[in-house]
Structure 1
Amino acid sequence: MVQNPREEMNNKTMNRYQWFVIGICVLLNVIDGFDVLVMAFTASSVSAEWGLTGAQLGALLSAGLFGMGAGSLFLAPWADKIGRRPLILLCLLISGVSMIAASLVQNATQLGIMRFITGLGIGGILASSNVIASEYASLRWRSLAVSLQSTGYAIGATIGGMIAIALISHFGWRSVFLAGGLTTMLMLVVAYFTLPESLDYLLVKQPKNALDRINHLCQRIGLTRIPQLPEVIHNTAQPKIGIAKLFTAGLGLQTIFLWLSFFFVMFGFYFVMSWTPKILSANGMSTEQGVTAGVLISAGGMFGAALIGLISARVRVFYVQAGFLALTAILILLFVNNVGALTIAFILAVFLGVLSNGCVAGLYAMSPSIYEADVRATGVGSAIGFGRIGGILSPLIAGAFLDGGISSLTLYGYYAGAFVLAIMTVLSLSKLQNKHAAQLNFQSSTVSS
């Protein structure tokens, strides 16, 4: 019987090469964090130049998220067909070119189109890099690996915010998009020469030269070389395709609750991240102070994503996620009641970033464990895509409320409720996964006996 390298890697100590691959995934997410939130950082300047209403600005903020949702739903599943690496390279090219093009637009419509195209690329990158980080980690450190990968988003947003402040004041908002596009193209070159294909993909799909590629990776990871490819058991029944696979083999309810968890968290998260600089500027802070608060939230996120990963190495990630969600809802209410005190608001912004970004990292850590390798990118991508629907609706609804006269600070209290709803879906998902795992173990023991 051929030893399965995946099983061996699950139980071995992580080596330098595995952490290196995870580090590349972190860098991919750094680029994504900058590209996603560049619209939030430039919102005040873009709005001032073109005289946009709250609804128009909300549409621009949602355009990138809409593209990310489409990318996660329609591009990410191709990672299960052509491989994680080729899809990431293609999506980097899409994001880089559209970011550069965004620096040349002449009106809000053109900018919205470019933001949508950028989002397409980012959606494919996020799902695929998340899966690679998960698949290169051992079982014990998988939650930490995926959470560390998620810190890249916060790092990119933080660096992007600081760069945006400097660039806008000297060269205008277009320079921020140009800088993001050029950096994304640089990352395309880095990924081309350093990012390997997923070992799980090679084992399950077995493309051309799969055995040589697997053994090359085994050597780098420190696994036993295999003399032949492991047998892949194919289902002889009529196979489900695409997203339909996520509703077979007892996965239907888990998929639905995972989607809802992403929806509620993204709904609350993207309101906090997208509107905070603009809303604070409209409530007494200067544009620079509003952007600074947004940067502090992103900076806190670097620690939040790592923190939830470290805790999840010892405590079941679903329970850690529920705790983070509850604390986030509480902190949003504290933050909204202290925006008049600049120092306190900035301190609370850091902690809000720790918790809210930790919630997103927790989602990414939870999702790969639900699906097998042949549908993992599809499962994670669809969950992220469904979450983007919440992210898309969030700025649009906020913009409509603001145009309708609702107090901008009151909105924070409403959006805290999204994190409360997410607690219920996460705990329900945890129960379903426990039940599903118990059924699989029973079936396995029955067959072996």
Structure 2
Amino acid sequence: MTHSASDTARTTDATLLARLERLPVARRLTLIRVVIGSATFFDAYTVLVIAFAMPQLVTEWNLSTTQTGMILSAGYLGQLVGALFFGWIAERIGRRNTLLITIVLFVSMDIACLFAWSGTSMMAFRFIQGIGTGGEVPVASAYINEFIGGRKRGRFFLLYEVIFPVGLMFAGLAGYFLVPHFGWRALFIVGLLPALLTIPLRRLMPESPRWLAAQGRLDEADTVVTMLEKDAVRHGHTLTEPVVKPVSPEAGTRSDWRELFRGVYLKRTLMLWALWLCVYTINNGLITWLPTLYKQVFHLPVQTSIYYGWITSAVGVAASLLCALTIDRVGRKRWYTIAFLVATVPLLALTALGATSATQVVWIAPLAYAALQTIAFSLYLYSAELYPTRLRAMGTGFGSAWLRAGSSLGPLMVAWIVSGLGIRYVFTAFAVLTVAGAAVTAFFALETKNKSLEELAP
């Protein structure tokens, strides 16, 4: 490319990004959020549904505590593989095509789970299904982030992302109403609904204009941005003049995973990995095990155990919504530090009280979960903000791989501690992790509020 052509490409890229930054949240952007949010809703449902099937499966298949922990962890191990693999794929074939593949994969394995006949078969199917669910969320997060400007990004993205804890809560409701009357397989039948999403996803969703521009496909990126501008004007919005700022051109720059561990990105990568690991070891250790603990440790009926587990999910949704509406004002770094420290208090309270009754756990554990859930569901936003377009899906995928590692470790850790030491020491171990998360955030996190993606990640 000649010097003149390079300058032209750079100017075109900067103009496209400026036009994207000033776009209002019009109907087409809302439609994108709804369709991708629906996929994420069922991803969350698929992730957690096994927790509410498990109390019945323990009895039906005569599962040991270790086998239960392995089944709960299998899906998360698959998600680790999916997050790494599909984050890499999304940088090469695009966000939209990758999302289609992940949805087809986790729906097909949902069908397989219907026909599981033992703990081993369920473990295998959940592992493969996890590969699809693990790929969907980080790629969807990169996709959504790349459509919106810095000042509106936190609220816009998190009102999409709040659908994930809502999906977790819905899994609990489905378990409460369906399992006692129709058995655990009914939960997996509900999980077939996302297959319908492949139709609007293919027909109505444009490819990410930032990804297209990063691939040097500037004409296609311009077509997408022009379509969004026309949609905004058609629905009564007035577009301000784009403020063009110099940017480092990414067009033609190949993504290279090694860049995640060089320069300014090394500290960001390690910091994010620590946050993902801390928060998800605790939260998925809690949310996946609580229904089974209520039944096995406190000997509550199956339906009551599922209901108590659902309470934890519901409190997490309320906290997530509050976070979505206010994090743009508070800032990511300050919110995360406070949330980690707030979560430490109920965890230490359960340690001190001994967690000797289901009443203690159902009143106190959800408080820790709620505080941590505001971090857990918004880390996709924060991760996507810290990497450039050429690394965004890959960086978010690599980071969320530690989500999967923590989510696998959490249920196994609960099983080991309950079997060896007793339930109270589960909460002690979790409190240590919240303090570690607060320290990492306070010393190493970067504030991102009100900044464009290009300002944050050159």
- Give the Å deviation of 1:193: 3.4
Instruction: Give secondary structure in 2 for the equivalent of 1:140.
Output: helix
Amino acid of the structure 2 residue aligned with 1:184: P
Amino acid of the structure 1 residue aligned with 2:53: T
1:161 aligns with 2:177: no
1:338-359: CA deviation from partner (whole Å, max 9, x where unpaired): 9667667545455444322112
- Please tell me whether the aligned partners of residues 29 and 228 of structure 2 are also in contact (alpha carbons under 8 angstroms): no
TM-score for both structures, normalised by structure 2: 0.86
Q: Which residue of 2 aligns with 1:250?
A: 264
1:323-350: CA deviation from partner (whole Å, max 9, x where unpaired): 1111122233445649667667545455
2:199 & 2:362 partners in 1: Cα distance? 37
Identity, % of aligned positions: 22
1:420 & 1:231 partners in 2: Cα distance? 38
RMSD of Structure 2 on Structure 1 (CA): 2.9
1:234 & 1:12 partners in 2: Cα distance? 21
Q: Which residue of 1 aligns with 2:429?
A: 414
Structure 1 segments unaligned to the other structure (5+ residues): 445-449
1:290 aligns with 2:301: no
Q: Which residue of 2 aligns with 1:387?
A: 403
2:302 & 2:424 partners in 1: Cα distance? 17
Q: Which residue of 1 aligns with 2:340?
A: 325
- Please tell me whether the aligned partners of residues 60 and 111 of structure 1 are also in contact (alpha carbons under 8 angstroms): yes
Residues 223-234 of structure 1: pairs in structure 2 closer than 5 A: 233=249
1:364 aligns with 2:375: no
- Give the Å deviation of 1:78: 1.3
1:42-84: CA deviation from partner (whole Å, max 9, x where unpaired): 1111111111111111110000001111111111221111111
Q: Which residue of 1 aligns with 2:314?
A: 299
1:8 & 1:18 partners in 2: Cα distance? 14
Q: Of residues 62, 72, 79 in structure 2, which corresponds to 1:51?
A: 62
Q: Of residues 263, 282, 305 in structure 2, which corresponds to 1:268?
A: 282
- Please tell me whether the aligned partners of residues 147 and 364 of structure 1 are also in contact (alpha carbons under 8 angstroms): no
- Please tell me whether the aligned partners of residues 71 and 119 of structure 2 are also in contact (alpha carbons under 8 angstroms): yes
1:94 & 1:302 partners in 2: Cα distance? 27
1:183-216: CA deviation from partner (whole Å, max 9, x where unpaired): 1212333433333321211221144961434433
Q: Which residue of 1 aligns with 2:5?
A: none
1:226-267: CA deviation from partner (whole Å, max 9, x where unpaired): 9xxx9984699xx88542121234211111111111111111
Instruction: Give secondary structure in 1 for the equivalent of 2:206.
Output: coil
Q: Which residue of 2 aligns with 1:151?
A: 162
1:8 aligns with 2:24: no
Q: Of residues 199, 208, 211 in structure 2, which corresponds to 1:189?
A: 199
Q: Which residue of 2 aligns with 1:89?
A: 100
1:241 & 1:144 partners in 2: Cα distance? 28
- Give the Å deviation of 1:163: 1.1
- Please tell me whether the aligned partners of residues 130 and 149 of structure 1 are also in contact (alpha carbons under 8 angstroms): no
- Please tell me whether the aligned partners of residues 318 and 366 of structure 1 are also in contact (alpha carbons under 8 angstroms): no
1:333 & 1:148 partners in 2: Cα distance? 31
Greater shift, 208-217 or 106-115, is seen at 208-217
Quickly say closer, same or farther: Cα 1:428–1:28, change in 2 above 3 A: farther
Q: Of residues 93, 102, 109 in structure 1, which corresponds to 2:120?
A: 109
1:20 aligns with 2:35: no
- Please tell me whether the aligned partners of residues 350 and 424 of structure 2 are also in contact (alpha carbons under 8 angstroms): no
Greater shift, 2-11 or 82-91, is seen at 2-11
Instruction: Give secondary structure in 2 for the equivalent of 1:196.
Output: coil
Residues 36-47 of structure 1: pairs in structure 2 closer than 5 A: 36-47=47-58
Q: Which residue of 1 aligns with 2:7?
A: none
Q: Which residue of 1 aligns with 2:211?
A: 201
Q: Which residue of 1 aligns with 2:370?
A: 354
Instruction: Give secondary structure in 2 for the equivalent of 1:4.
Output: helix
TM-score for both structures, normalised by structure 1: 0.87
How many residues get paired? 430
Quickly say closer, same or farther: Cα 1:25–1:332, change in 2 above 3 A: farther
1:420 & 1:214 partners in 2: Cα distance? 44
- Please tell me whether the aligned partners of residues 82 and 130 of structure 2 are also in contact (alpha carbons under 8 angstroms): yes
Instruction: Give secondary structure in 2 for the equivalent of 1:313.
Output: helix
1:99-149: CA deviation from partner (whole Å, max 9, x where unpaired): 111010111111111101111111111101111222222211212223223
1:314 & 1:115 partners in 2: Cα distance? 39
Amino acid of the structure 2 residue aligned with 1:279: L
1:203 & 1:197 partners in 2: Cα distance? 11
2:143 & 2:394 partners in 1: Cα distance? 13
Greater shift, 19-28 or 66-75, is seen at 19-28
1:173 & 1:161 partners in 2: Cα distance? 12
Structure 2 segments unaligned to the other structure (5+ residues): 1-10, 234-238
Quickly say closer, same or farther: Cα 1:324–1:84, change in 2 above 3 A: same
- Give the Å deviation of 1:220: 3.0
Greater shift, 331-340 or 277-286, is seen at 331-340
Q: Which residue of 2 aligns with 1:377?
A: 393
1:190 & 1:287 partners in 2: Cα distance? 38
1:33 aligns with 2:47: no
Q: Of residues 131, 137, 141 in structure 1, which corresponds to 2:152?
A: 141
Q: Which residue of 2 aligns with 1:280?
A: 294
1:314 aligns with 2:329: yes
